[in-house]
Amino acid sequence: MKILNIVISLGIVLILFSCNESDDVGPIITMNGNDTVQHVLNEIYFDEGAIAVDETDGNVSNNIYVDNLVDENLLGEYTVTYNVIDKAGNEAKPAVRTVFVYNQGDIYIGDYLLIETQTFPDPETCQYEVVTWVDSTLNYRITFNTFACDEGFEVFADVYDSVLIMPFQLLEDSLISMSVQGSGAITDSTISIGYTLKSNDTTSLWEAEFVRLK
């Protein structure tokens, strides 16, 4: 009987000890998918989420709180941060996903030789170098740093597969007021645009040929 009492007493002590044992280890967060994501501008961003497991509380994924800073409508580098706290107040090491929002028109960025030929009313040709870049808010929109025989005006165009559309644009400063509008074809090395140039009461037709410089 004395031995039995000792065993029972030891069991009670062990139970009390285990109940009073402190929980000082935080959960572990594991992200679904990749740590770094490339995301297309203007497309809705759906994050793949994460799971969290605590050695005491078990699966605590439902308690994860997310700080999602992604703006899918603006070029840039963003973060999605996951964190969670267990019942004992232990905070997990945050998990961070990096999201790069990019413009698919990136493949057209570069330096080009531009040759413009007036086809109406009189023959005229000009040649100069042009730099292109992409718009920060509209996917597949590209901008030319100068156009219309080096007038110094920036113009933009939208790419649809291999077709390029240059919407109507009014270009003006203190000395010049004119508009351009046209369309053409585009590859990763060449661009062709037929456009109408209107300046005051004069209308002219032009063909613009861009060749990427190596």
In the structure, what pLDDT confidence band is assigned to residue 16 with cuts at 50, 70 and 90? very low
Q: Provide the residue range defining the domain that includes 182.
A: 105-212
For 53-106, the pLDDT digits (tens) are 999 999 999 999 999 999 999 999 999 999 999 999 999 999 999 999 999 999
Q: What CATH number is associated with residue 192?
A: 2.40.128.420
Domain annotation covers residue 169: yes
Within this chain, do residues 42 and 129 fall inside the same structural domain, yes or no?
no
pLDDT category of residue 177 using cuts at 50, 70 and 90: confident
Residues 132 and 51 in one domain: no
Q: Is the pLDDT of residue 122 over 80?
A: yes
Task: Read off the pLDDT of residues 88-97 as tens digits, 9 standing for 90 and up.
Answer: 999 999 999 9
**Residue bearing tokens 């572990």:** 28
Tens-place pLDDT, residues 137-155: 999 999 999 999 987 889 9
- pTM comes to 0.83
93 token code pair: 């090491």
Same-domain pairing of 181 and 164: yes
Residue 19's pLDDT is: 47
Altogether, the residues listed in the chain come to a count of 214
Among 153, 166, 155, residue whose Cα is nearest residue 192 = 166
Residue 91 is classified by DSSP as B
- Residue 103 φ/ψ, nearest 5 degrees: -95, 125
Q: Are 156 and 114 found together in one domain?
A: yes
- The chain-wide mean pLDDT, for the chain, equals 90
pLDDT band at 21 (very low <50, low <70, confident <90, very high): low
